[in-house]
Amino acid sequence: MGATTKLLRWYRLHGRNLPWRRTRDPYRILVSEVMLQQTQVDRVKEYYRTWLKKFPTWKKLARASNADVIHAWAGLGYNRRALMVRDVARSVIEHGVPKTEVAWFAIKGIGPYTAAAVSAFAQKRRTLPIDTNIRRVLGRLLLGKPFAELKDDETIRSKADDFLPRRGAYYDVPQAIFDLATLICTKNPDCASCPLRKDCKAAKLFVSGRVQIPKRSIATARERKHRNKPFPDRIYRGRILKTVRERGQVSGRRLGQMIDPDFDKHLDQEWLEMMIDRLAKDGLVSYSRKIITLPKG
């Protein structure tokens, strides 16, 4: 029995029951994929259902204002994603639903992973969306690398061409790999429970104890922090947006103390204004005459 067959059999028995796996609607698939970026699956399930009640179709979302989508996205973080999905909806209404992976990728805001994911899961294209999870599993299985890196993606894609079936449910293979990565092939894998242990080129390395598990398998970019602040700027930008969302409008003179009890007007005012400017450039707030509001566009 081939490795792909083993994987799909395991998936049918142990795969996670997730709402976006019960649809082939490109809109719903896109929403789920964007929400899943930087956000845990359990949190996404709740927001996914709520979002679809408010914006059930491309058309409904395309008509939404910036403020509408920012309110609906509240709590998921990385709020630019909300505006990006809305802008994709406007593109779809104007030009139609893309039919190919290349056409999805041509839309502003959609990266190679998302383009491949929508093509595979919504349109049943034979393509492989590579994210951290798929890179980890296939790097081990096909390359024998305990911790594959971004530079290995093209090799993984080439090797995976034989791993993806030519017929049948090839579009389920990436979903099966996601679940294997989450349940078994984690950073510190449970090789004894893996259905692919006899096929995996890295399994013997892990079982023998010859692999040293790094604290971080992939180097992460250092986040910007202002002087002695305990959190990165990203957290304070989130607080700014939350405050504006809840109050409707906020005076720039009062905002500093609202987001940081240790705010110092002399040392932190320029930092605060830089964060407000960035949020405004991203289309997440409007800033006029020292008053901050949600945008109307």
| Residues classed as catalytic | 33
**Backbone phi and psi for residue 203, each to the nearest 5 degrees, phi listed first:** -60, -45
Angle subtended at Cα 80 by Cα 77 and Cα 85, rounded to the nearest 5 degrees: 105
CA distances from 90 to 34, 110, 134, 154, 192 (A): 16, 13, 31, 32, 48
Helix (H) or strand (E) holding 71, with range, is helix 66-73
Q: What is the maximum alpha-carbon separation in the chain?
A: 69
Look-up of token digits 């906020």: 250
**Token pair in block for residue 5:** 């067959």
Q: Are 239 and 285 in contact (CB under 8 A)?
A: no
Burial 132-162 (b: 16+ CB within 10 A, else e): ebbbbbbbbbbbebbbbeeebbeebbeebee
Integer Cα distance of 88 and 84 in angstroms: 6
SS3 at position 293: strand
Whole-number Å distance between alpha carbons of 3 and 12: 14
Distance CA 152, CA 148 (A): 6
What's the rounded Cα separation, in Å, for the pair 219 and 239? 27
DSSP secondary structure code for residue 139 in this structure: I
